[in-house]
Structure formats: structure tokens, C-alpha cells
Structure 1
Amino acid sequence: MTPVAPARSRDLASLWNDIGVRKVAFQAVLVACVAAIVFILWWNASGNIARRGLEVGFAFLSKTANFAIGESVISYSPADTYARALLAGLSNTVVIAISGCLLTTVFGVLFGILRLSPNPFLSRLVGVYVEIGRNVPLLLQLFFWYSLCTRLNGPRQATSPLPGVFLSNRGLRLPSFVANDGLLFAALGFFFAGIVWLVLRAWARRLQERTGQRPRIMPWGLAVLVLAPLAGAHLATNPIAVDMPELQGFNFVGGQEFSPEFVALLFGLVFYTTAFVTEIVRGGIQSVSKGQWEAARSLGLPAGSIMRLVILPQAMRTIIPPLASQYINLTKNSSLAVAIGFPDLINISNTVINQTGQALEVIFIFMGSYLAVNLLISALMNRLNAAFLAKEG
């Protein structure tokens, strides 16, 4: 007679055979091992530092920094703490990352489509740009853009490609909105319009599932998008005002100023990363079968509508995963700002290390900051990818 295993043993065996449980167990063990290694390294390093009579810990963050920062998104002065200085550097890094990702997406999609243009001049021109952008080291490109920005004309002979936009060796000047209640109410109007648009989309989707017909919500959405901010601005005490840059003396006043270091870093990152995104978009478009083009043409759709409504939505499942990697690479590559003097997180961290000697703690801070930002980018792109896969399913 075959012996029967106890019920508890059978439950444990079935639980262990569950793939999901095993994944969680292995990941928990891996996290515990990594945490143990980090703790051992930290304990060993802190012990060696303490034996040399050096201070260990993060108490230095509350001390006065006593150094200036050339530009910062948040308010900062030398009388602020080291924590505030590091936060200013992190805010500069985040602004560069967000601006770079947005511009890279726009130019990458545009150049990726032009790369497949039937016009041989356009396709080859974009191909030359891609080869230059991908094969010239990013650090050299940053040096090139920085030297170009610093050798522009002075403010009196500044280049003005658009009204109110001035580019000189002092940087870039753009018009900016005046911070008042009119701008606040208009922003609230945009927020309200976004909520209305989400409600309209949900209503249209439910109606389509119930009747098979989808109502046109675009006119209503556009009307709310225009009227809600206007109504908000009308209710405010002060109207929306734009601060235009003006030349006074030897420099501009008013508007929003971006330093040559910021402009050079942003141009360099966008120029470099867009070359890779262009090839990603080209590959994603070519992954869609030719039958989709032929089917769309048989319906009489123009080429622009075919690309926008048929090809790109299907190509996104191939484009999004490598695009997320390029966003993360752009964020990490922004640390090269130290080479041209832009006060990003790494640059300010080096100053803090030189003044405090807390190298281990500061390195831990900026490593954790980059890890958090990149994990956030990865999580957002994963959600976007899952949304596109759900639509296809």
C-alpha cells in the first residue's frame, strides 16, 4: 500500500510549485542578500571612517552651505543648508531630464517618419544626422554645443528667431507668464478641462460598447479646453500677463533666462538621444506588416491619417520598451553636465564633498536620487506599454 503524504506537506509542495510564489520568494531572498551586502559595506566603511576621526552620518545636511549656485529651479541662497543645495541640484537634473525626454520624443518621431520618406533627399539627410549623432561621443558633442553657445553674439547683437526669443552668449531668453491669480485660475481651468475630457471618453466608450456607435466627443472636448481656461482667467482679479524680454544696457531684463550651460546641455542630450530614438521609431514602423498599409489605402485614407491612426498605434508596442531605455539613458547622461559647468546634482555634490568631506554619504544620496528618478521613468513607461497592449488585446 502506497503511503499517503501528510496534508501539510502536500500544501507546502503545491505552494512551492506555484510560479508566482517562487518568483516572490526568490526576489525576497535577492533583496535580503543585497541589503545584507550593503549593510556590511556601510558598517565596514563607517568603522574605518570613525577610526580616522572623521564624522559619519547625515547631520551635515542641516549645516549652512555657504556657496552659491549659478541657476536653480527652486529658490536657493548661500545661507541655505546643504540639503537645500542638493535639492536644487536634483531639481535642475529633473528639469533637464523632463525637457530632454519631451524634445527627444517630438524630434525622434518626426525624424523616424522622415527616415522612411519616399523623398531620397530627406531620408538620406536624416540618415546622415543619425550616423553623426550616434557615433560622435556625447561628451564631445557637449563641448561643441557649449563652445558654440559661448561664441554667439552679445546681447546687443542677439539672434531673434521669433518675437520675444533671444539667443546670445548670455544664454536663451524666452517670454514668460507673470505669476498671478489669472494664471492660477487659467491653470485650474485646464485641469477642469482634463477631467471633463476623461469623463467624456469614459461615456463614449460605454456608449460604444452598448450601441456599437461611438459619438464624436472631440468638438466638445476642444470647446471645454478653450472655454474653461478663459472662464477661469475672466473670474480672476488680475488678467494673464506675459513678461517679454527687453534689452536694457548690456543685457536683457524680463522673461525667462536659460544659461549657456543649460542650453548646451539640453541641445547636446537631445541631439545625441534623438539619433537613437529615430532608429527606434523607424524600426517600429517597419515592424508593422505591409498589409496594414494596403488595407488602409483601400479605405481611401490619406497617408497622414494612415500613419497617425493605423501604423503608429501598432508600432508603439515595439517602440515603447527601447524608448524607455533611451529616457533612462538621457537622465543618466545628464550627469556629464559637470564637464561644462552646469549645476546639476553631480556638480553640486562634488562641491558638497569638497567642503564637508562626507563623500560616502553624498555619493549614497545622489545614487539613490538617480535610482529613484529612473525607477519612476521605468514605472511610467511600463504603464504606458501595458495600456497599449490592453488596447490591442
Structure 2
Amino acid sequence: MALLSNVRFRALFYQWLAIGVIALIAWSMFTTASQNLAKHDIATGFSYLSRQAGFVISEAAIPYGPSDTVAHALLVGLANTVKVSLLAAIFGTIIGLLVGIGRMSRNPILQRLMLGYVEALRNVPLLLYLLFWYAVIINVLPPVREALALAPHVYLSNSGLVIPSVTLESGFAFVFAAIVVGIIGAVVIRRFALRRRLATGVSNNGALVAVMFGFLPVALVLLLHGIDMTFDLPEKGRFRLTGGVQIKPEFVALLFGLSLSVSANVAEIVRAGIQAVNKGQWEAAMALGLPRRRTMRLVILPQASRLMIPPLTNTYLTVFKNSSLAIAIGYPDLVMVSNTVMNQTGQAMETIAIFMGAYLTLSIIISLFMNWYNSHVALKER
């Protein structure tokens, strides 16, 4: 009883008790369902994961063939989901940052254009936009023989996007190690330069030095060791495109739709974060003679970024979960691959449990990382 009077112990005790009760209920439901399925001679368990998959996945982020196992097929679906979600989060954040800053512009035309962009994307269901962009790619873009040349050796058609591909034949390990060393060195130099600037008040171009050091190890590896790379450039023929790597229209439509959806939410988060910074910060920067752009970059955004992290966490979780809408346009994400597995094996309960657990696990990982970063950059009170 003495332990229950401890607030921290009591809080942990009730949390673990709740988790235990939920786990017990879930196990009871699973056992009951398994017994009922067994009465009807329906197989249960996860042994089917070691069977041969026997079906084709149109796009795979990792190597896959129909002769691989069902477990590997599900892993491919998970990798596809992570790939498109991560890219959408990156592109959406960059676009949203620019749109959010544009919403704070003094130019009324730009401000209203950004407002219309945000409202148009936030007030229409994402599924409709995914279907719309997919229909545009399939029905509006020209066929392969008339593909649009977006840049040298980059073509866009109703069959998707074709870009140059690079194959690293040897020396990849050295380049990867050089990249890691460069990133670590750049971070250390940047932090040292920042601390010195704060201590002395003298600008030392720490960011430029950090960037130059980041590229230095890679340049040395390429100069001293060398690396064998093979470039495969797409070429436009009379009837088709040859070479390069093709990004299918399903992936293009999904990435485009998710990125724009994320950008609209990020834009509102950026706008709210900027408006939350005290106006006195603007006035103090102006009094020191800083122009508006440098004030935004050096004074306002660093303070606003700390306020943006919690809502950004929710946005990144949402884009990861919204990627499940990919099944509507035929992109082979985790849900679509799981549906194929269920149709092949007839074991729906186990497959649904697997992809639910995958979504839950990755959502927890995203939350933990964003919470760690939030606590790392938060202002420490004395």
C-alpha cells in the first residue's frame, strides 16, 4: 500500500494494468475466433507466411519475385508504404513551408493565392484528389510515343515518369562511409561554430564550412579510390522509351496527392507557428536593421519551429495512415498486398492483424522520434 501512495508508481501501475487487461481481452477474442474457425475446418495460425506467394507485385521497393514467401510479399508492401509516405512527408514539408511563409506575405495577391491553395486541398477528401490525379495522368497525358520531355532524358507520359538510373558496381561501401563521416563532421562543425558565434557575437560562416566539410570525404573517396558507376539514360524511340527507370503512374499520382495534402496542413502549421511568435521579436529585429527576409529566417522561424513540432507529428502520422488509400488507384502498398494474400490463403484474421500491427508499430516509432526531437529542441527553463 505504501507504493500506491507514490504518484509515479501509481501512474505506471495503472498504465501497465490497462495494457494487461487489453492484451488479455485481445488474446481471449483471438482464442475464441480460432476455436470457432477450427470447428468449420478453417486453418488458423501464421504458418502460411512461409508458403510461396505465387503472385506478382507490380512495383517493389525491395527485390521480389512470385517464388518468394508470403512474408516477403507483405514486407514488400510495407516497404512500398514507407517509401511513398516518407517521400510525401519530405516534399510536403518543403512545399508547405514555402506556402505557409507565402500566406504571411505583404503581397495581397500572393497571400490570397496561398489561401486558396490551402482551402482547396484541405476541404476536399484526399481520396477524390487521388482519383483525380490518377485520371489526369492516364487520360490527359500523352501516350509513350509522344511523351513530354520535362528535362534532358526525363519523360512523362500516361505510362508514368521515366528518369535516368545509376548503378553502383563497386566502391559503394567507401562512398557510403564517406557520406556518414561527412554528415557527422558537418554536424559537429556546425554546432561548434554556433556556440562560438553565440559566445563571441562574431559571424564565422559556420554553415558554409560545415557544408564544405560534408562534401569533402566523398570528394576524396572519388578522387583517390574511384567508383564504378553505370548510367542508363532513357531514350525516346519511335514507339516507346528505352533505358532508365520507370516510375509507374499509380506511384506518381499517390505521391503527388499525398504531398499536396501534407503541404496544405504544414502550411497552416507554419502560419500558426509564425503568428505565435511575439510581435516584439519582429520589432526588435527591425530596430537592429535586419531586412524582413533575414528576420524571418534568423529570428522568427527558429522560434516558430519549436511550436510546430507537436502538430507536425500528427501530420506525419496522418500521411502514413492515409497512404492506405493507395488501394483505390492500384498502388501495391501494405493494404493491397494484404488483400491479395487474404484472397490467396483465406486467412483474413491473421493478415489483418499483421498489417494493423505494422501500422501501429510504425506510428509509435514516428511518435517516439518526433517526441525525442521536440524535447531536444525545446527551450530549457532554469
Q: Does residue 322 of the first structure (1) align with residue 311 of the second (2)?
A: yes
Report the equivalent of 1:122.
110
Q: Please, which of 339, 352, 358 is the counterpart of residue 347 of structure 2?
A: 358
Aligned partner of 1:47 among 32, 35, 39: 35
- Find the counterpart in structure 2 of residue 90 from structure 1: 78
CA drift at 1:177 = 2.3
Equivalent in the alignment of 1:79: 67
User: Per-residue displacement from partner, 1:23-72 (whole Å, max 9, x unpaired)?
Assistant: 21111111111111111111111111111111111100111111111010
User: What's the counterpart of residue 254 of structure 1?
Assistant: 243
Structure 1: stretches of 5+ with no match in the other structure: 1-11
Aligned equivalents of 1:17 and 1:209: distance in 2?
Answer: 46
Q: Which residue number in structure 2 is paired with residue 224 of structure 1?
A: 213
User: 2-side partners of 1:226 and 1:20: how far apart?
Assistant: 48
Select 2:337's aligned residue among 320, 345, 348: 348
Counterpart of 1:69, as a letter, is I
**Matches of 1:147 and 1:157 in 2, distance apart?**
18
Name which of structure 1's ranges 15-24 and 304-313 shifts more when overlaid on structure 2: 15-24
**What is the aligned partner in structure 2 of residue 307 from structure 1?**
296
TM-score by length of 2: 0.94
| Aligned mates of 2:46, 2:239 — CA distance in 1 | 44
User: Secondary structure in 2 aligned to 1:140?
Assistant: helix
Aligned to 2:93: 105
When Rg is computed on C-alpha atoms for both structures, the one with the higher figure is 1
Q: Structure 1 64/252 Cα, relative in aligned 2: closer, same or farther at 3 Å? A: same
CA distance in 1 between partners of 2:7 and 2:60 (Å): 49
Q: What one-letter code is carried by the residue in structure 1 that aligns with 2:89?
A: C
What does the per-residue CA deviation read over 1:1-43, in whole Å, with 9 as the maximum and x for residues that have no partner? xxxxxxxxxxx53x43332212211111111111111111111
Match of 2:267 among 269, 278, 299: 278
- AA in 1 matched with 2:5: N
Using the TM superposition, give the Cα deviation of residue 391 of structure 1 relative to its aligned residue in structure 2, in angstroms: 6.4
The size of the alignment, in residue pairs, is 381
Q: Could you tell me whether the CA contact under 8 Å between 1:112 and 1:278 is conserved in 2?
A: yes
Cα 1:236/1:289, change in 2 over 3 Å: same
Determine the C-alpha separation between the residues in 2 that align with 1:253 and 1:380: 42
Stretches of structure 2 that go unaligned for 5 or more consecutive residues are none
For residue 148 of structure 1, the aligned residue among 130, 133, 136 is: 136
Q: Offset of 1:165 from its aligned partner?
A: 2.0
**Aligned: 1:381 with 2:370:** yes
The 8 Å contact of residues 353 and 359 in structure 1, kept in 2 or not, is answered as yes
1:243: how far off? 2.8
Measured in 1, the distance between the counterparts of 2:104 and 2:188 equals 38
| Amino acid paired to 1:83 | A
Q: Which moved more, 1:192-201 or 1:336-345?
A: 192-201
Residue 269 of structure 1: aligned partner: 258
Higher mean displacement: 168-177 or 288-297: 168-177
Once the two structures are TM-superposed, the CA of residue 232 in structure 1 deviates from its matched residue by 1.2
The equivalent position to 1:29 in structure 2, one of 9, 17, 20, is: 17
Match of 1:308, as an amino acid? R
Q: CA 1:168–1:210 in 2, change beyond 3 Å: closer, same or farther? A: closer
**Match for residue 333 of structure 1?**
322
Partners of 1:160 and 1:115 lie apart in 2 by 33
Q: Contact (CA 8 Å) 1:183, 1:233: kept in 2 or not?
A: no
Distance change (3 Å), C-alpha of 1:210 and 1:16: farther
Q: Check 1:323–1:178 CA distance in 2 against 1; reply closer, same or farther (3 A cut).
A: same
Give CA-to-partner distance per residue, 1:68-118, whole Å, 9 cap, x none: 110101111111111111111111000011001001100111100001111
Q: Secondary structure at the match of 1:172?
A: strand
1:206-253 superposed Cα distances (whole Å, 9 cap, x missing partner): 767887878543343222223221111223354445432222453323
* Fraction of identical pairs, as percent: 45
**Alpha carbons 2:168, 2:228 under 8 Å: kept:** no
Alpha-carbon distance change, 224 to 360 in structure 1, aligned in 2, over 3 angstroms: same
Q: CA RMSD in A?
A: 2.1
Residue 161 in structure 1 maps to residue 150 in structure 2: yes
Aligned to 2:53: 65
Counterpart of 1:135 in structure 2 is 123
Say if 1:201 and 1:217, in contact at 8 Å, map to a contact too.
yes
Asked if structure 1 preserves the Cα contact closer than 8 Å seen for 2:158 and 2:249, the reply is yes
Letter in 2 for 1:297: M
Moved more, 18-27 or 366-375: 18-27
- 1:65 and 1:155 map into 2 onto residues whose CA distance is 32
